[in-house]
């Protein structure tokens, strides 16, 4: 390894100083580094073996002076010339002290000179400043936000050429990263029309009021799909409530033959039997698959809402769904089935409209969002909002924030599956036998990359921001004084399904929900715990476990259930005795 006190190190400082000969701030730093090299430990006769010879720094300064485009009368040329005439460490440090005084005066005045010109001309900004706190405060009060001076750093190739002429001295990593070049930084824009074809659309021209910030939409659209037939008394309707990223396309149909996101769970003889039930699946409010959301056109402006779309809550999504049910002429649901965000919606439906829900199934969900889940969704939102192409949510006519969206999905995927599954599927297996690099080495890394890439253009980033925020805000007890008071409104039989390997909604949250329902007085609560290795995505994959539980709960006649049955049996036993 090459010593930082060697002539090669001074050479690097020299080249950087030449590139920034008009920047007083950088010149001061360069001189300071040169002084450090020349005034290192080991002074005296043997000092040259431990540090750089003073003449090295002097020669370097002469070269910087010669390369400077400034006139001879320029203060910086005078200072550098004095450095060139210095032959000892003391003279170098004295010149450095003079240079520091000059820089400090220019920082205090902040008027004229090379430094202030650089502040006005530099177009880049970074989250740090060389100004004192007082100067920053004065500039902030005056409304001035000048860019800060930046120092260009050499590329890896330049460092290698400067410091590694001797191949035996250093062997590092090549700076070519194929994983970055093979990942598409630009690609096809989201084709929402192709993804969302085949749905029906309910529209309300009346303003739709929201629960947060006194928000209001001038128009409400709800996309939905249906399967099966509604009976004469309209009592066999079952609503399937989707998760964050799902559409209304739960199952294939004549209008859209592509498999739905719950294809194997919905249909004739399936868990949600379309021979018995009229099944409805709406796209949630805030989504991008037909229902009003940030990508929808604001009828008042003729442009997409973007981030002018109001903040929404889970209760607003539920209200939009029951407006759809009013439109369809359905007074009461036979059942409400939801998973993840859909599970929140199912619980909220039975709380907000207790007389209109006959049975409730909530899968991998909760009664109020936990800090751990909020933290993971926050990171996903931050990935999107830190993508420069996000443009504060107004990217519909410009570059798409694909990088942020891809990273957000990769983080989400970690919470959707489980360690046991990944250990079985991938283990520590590597992608190839190539030498290790900073690019993905293991199959699990490649899997995450694929998930992010495939999803990044299928969903609107703004919809992810709004709907994930609604999930964070979810708390059944918020408007009722306590969780038990809120859940006391649920008047129907409830099945709570949880998965032991769920990271996003851990199993204890479903246990807590079931216990809170029972504590609130509901005697018809069934808790179903699955030992599946698929984590949160179990509700999409485990047909035997989830499908059997859903089918059994929907189709079993529950005239007498739970504690009511036990108490009645005991009463009958006492009476016969």
Q: Confirm if 491 and 517 have CB atoms less than 8 A apart.
A: no
What are the phi and psi torsion angles at 68 (to 5°)? Answer: -75, 135
The H or E element that residue 499 is part of is strand 494-499
Is 331 catalytic? The answer is: no
The CA-atom distances, in angstroms, between 418 and each of 366, 400, 415, 530 are: 19, 31, 7, 14
Q: How far apart are CA 373 and CA 514, in angstroms?
A: 19
Catalytic residue check, 352: no
Cα–Cα distance between 21 and 517 in angstroms, integer? 72
Q: Which DSSP helix (H) or strand (E) runs through 567? A: helix 562-576
DSSP-derived secondary structure letter, 393: G
Query: HEC profile for 348-370?
Result: HHHHHCHHHECCEEEECCCCECC
Q: What is the CA radius of gyration of the chain?
A: 33
> 82 near 63, Cβ under 8 Å?
no
Residue 130 contacts residue 108 (beta carbons within 8 Å) = no
Q: 60 CB contacts (<8 Å, ≥6 apart)?
A: 10, 11, 13, 14, 17, 34
Is 21 considered catalytic here?
no
Mapping DSSP to helix (H, G, I), strand (E, B) and coil, where does residue 276 land?
Answer: coil
Q: Which of 211, 463, 536, 537 is labelled catalytic? A: 536
Q: Quick one: which of 184, 189, 193, 188 has its CA closest to 396?
A: 189
3-state SS assignment for residue 261 = coil
Pick the catalytic residue: 23, 460, 502, 537? 502
Assign 298 to helix, strand or coil: strand
CB 102 within 8 A of CB 113: no
DSSP string, 180-245: HHHS-SS-PPP-HHHHTTT-EEEEE-S-EE-SSTT-EES-EEEEEEEES---TTS--EEEEE--TT
Is the CB of residue 509 less than 8 Å from the CB of residue 498?
yes
Report the relative pairing of strands 220-227 and 525-530 from DSSP bridges. Answer: unpaired
Catalytic one of 340, 346, 456, 463: 340
3-state secondary structure of 475: strand
Tell me if 48 sits within 8 A of 6, measured CB to CB: no
**Nearest CA among 53, 49, 66, 64 for reference residue 13:** 64
| C-alpha to C-alpha distance for 139 and 107, rounded to whole angstroms | 12
3-state SS, one letter per residue, for 417-460: CCHHHHHHHCCCCECCCCCCCCCCCEHHHHHHHHHHHHHCCCCC
First and final C-alpha spacing in the chain: 95
Q: Are 291 and 221 in contact (CB under 8 A)?
A: yes
Catalytic residues: 340, 502, 536
């Amino acid at each position: 390894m090459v010593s930082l006190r060697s002539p090669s190190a001074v050479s690097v400082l020299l080249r950087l100083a030449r590139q920034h000969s008009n920047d007083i701030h950088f010149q001061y730093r360069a001189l300071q580094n040169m002084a450090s090299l020349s005034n290192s430990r080991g002074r005296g006769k043997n000092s040259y073996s431990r540090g750089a010879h003073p003449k090295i720094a002097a020669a370097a300064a002469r070269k910087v002076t010669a390369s400077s485009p400034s006139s001879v009368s320029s203060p910086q040329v005078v200072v550098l010339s004095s450095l060139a005439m210095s032959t000892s460490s003391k003279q170098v440090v004295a010149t450095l002290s003079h240079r520091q005084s000059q820089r400090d005066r220019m920082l205090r005045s902040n008027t004229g000179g090379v430094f202030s010109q650089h502040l006005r001309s530099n177009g880049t900004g970074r989250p740090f400043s060389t100004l004192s706190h007082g100067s920053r405060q004065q500039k902030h009060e005056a409304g001035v936000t000048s860019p800060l001076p930046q120092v260009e750093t050499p590329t890896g190739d330049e460092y290698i050429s400067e410091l590694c002429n001797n191949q035996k001295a250093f062997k590092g990593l090549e700076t070519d990263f194929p994983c970055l070049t093979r990942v598409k930084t630009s690609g096809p824009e989201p084709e929402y029309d192709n993804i969302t074809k085949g749905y029906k659309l309910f529209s309300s021209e009346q303003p739709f009021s929201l629960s947060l910030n006194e928000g209001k939409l001038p128009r409400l659209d709800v996309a939905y799909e249906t399967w099966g037939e509604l009976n004469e008394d309209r009592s066999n309707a079952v609503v399937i409530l989707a998760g964050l990223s799902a559409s209304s396309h739960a199952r294939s149909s004549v209008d859209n033959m592509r498999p739905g996101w719950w294809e194997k769970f919905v249909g004739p003889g399936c868990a949600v039997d379309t021979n018995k039930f009229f099944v409805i699946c709406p796209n949630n409010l805030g989504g991008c698959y037909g229902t009003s959301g940030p990508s929808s056109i604001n009828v008042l402006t003729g442009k997409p809402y973007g981030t002018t779309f109001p903040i929404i809550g889970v209760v607003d999504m539920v209200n939009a769904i029951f407006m759809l049910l009013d439109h369809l002429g359905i007074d009461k649901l036979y059942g409400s089935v939801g998973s993840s965000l859909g599970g929140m919606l199912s619980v909220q439906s039975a709380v907000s409209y207790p007389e209109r829900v006959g049975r409730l199934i909530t899968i991998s969900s909760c009664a109020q969002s936990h800090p751990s889940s909020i933290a993971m969704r926050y990171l996903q939102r931050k990935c999107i909002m830190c993508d420069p192409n996000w443009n504060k949510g107004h990217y519909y006519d410009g570059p798409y924030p694909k990088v942020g969206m891809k990273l957000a999905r990769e983080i989400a995927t970690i919470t959707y599956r489980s360690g046991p599954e990944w250990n079985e599927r991938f283990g520590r297996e590597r992608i190839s036998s190539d030498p290790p690099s900073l690019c993905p080495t293991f199959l699990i890394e490649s899997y995450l990359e694929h998930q992010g890439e495939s999803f990044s253009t299928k969903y609107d980033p703004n919809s992810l921001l709004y709907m994930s925020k609604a999930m964070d805000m979810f708390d059944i007890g918020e408007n009722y004084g306590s969780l038990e008071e809120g859940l006391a409104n649920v008047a129907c039989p409830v099945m709570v399904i949880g998965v032991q390997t769920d990271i996003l909604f851990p199993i204890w949250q479903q246990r807590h929900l079931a216990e809170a329902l029972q504590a609130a007085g509901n005697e018809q609560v069934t808790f179903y715990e699955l030992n599946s290795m698929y984590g949160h995505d179990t509700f999409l994959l485990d047909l035997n476990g989830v499908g059997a539980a859903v089918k059994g709960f929907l189709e079993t006649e529950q005239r007498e259930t739970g504690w009511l049955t036990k108490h009645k049996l005991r009463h009958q036993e006492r009476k016969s005795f």
